[in-house]
């Protein structure tokens, strides 16, 4: 199973930013990897491990903000579709117009 944690935490004050950083570090310390900003995932082997991880997240959650946990099967996770836009770069990375002096 995969556990996906999505969160929206305030970062307006210094205390909010500190809580945000501590929560993010706590997720990483517990084996989560970042899928994208504010979305982290972890592979869970058993339902009891899922319950332990949920309890850990409840303990480290900051007092303000929203934290959501979604648990899906590995088969559902593997069917995730990645839609990637075209990469645009202002850097010319060809030697077509190379001028040697």
- Domain 2-78 fold: Alpha-Beta Plaits (3.30.70)
- With beta carbons less than 8 A apart as the criterion, state whether 52 and 58 touch: no
Using one digit for the tens of pLDDT, what is the confidence trace for 11-65? 999 999 999 999 999 999 999 999 999 999 999 999 899 999 999 999 999 999 9
Which spans in the chain are helix H?
A: 14-29, 47-60, 74-78
pTM passes above 0.85 = no
Domain ranges, ordered by start, for the chain: 2-78
| 71: alpha, beta or left? (left if phi > 0; alpha if psi -120 to 50) | beta
User: What is the per-residue pLDDT for 87?
Assistant: 72
């Amino acid at each position: 199973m995969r556990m996906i944690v999505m969160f929206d935490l305030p970062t307006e004050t210094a205390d909010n930013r500190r809580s945000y950083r501590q929560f993010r570090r706590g997720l990483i310390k517990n084996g989560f990897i970042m899928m994208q900003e504010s979305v982290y995932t972890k592979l869970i082997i058993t339902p009891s491990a899922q319950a332990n991880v949920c309890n850990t997240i409840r303990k480290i959650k900051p007092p303000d903000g929203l934290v959501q946990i979604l648990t899906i099967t590995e088969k559902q996770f593997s069917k995730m579709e990645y839609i990637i836009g075209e990469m645009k770069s202002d850097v010319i990375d060809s030697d077509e117009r190379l001028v040697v002096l």
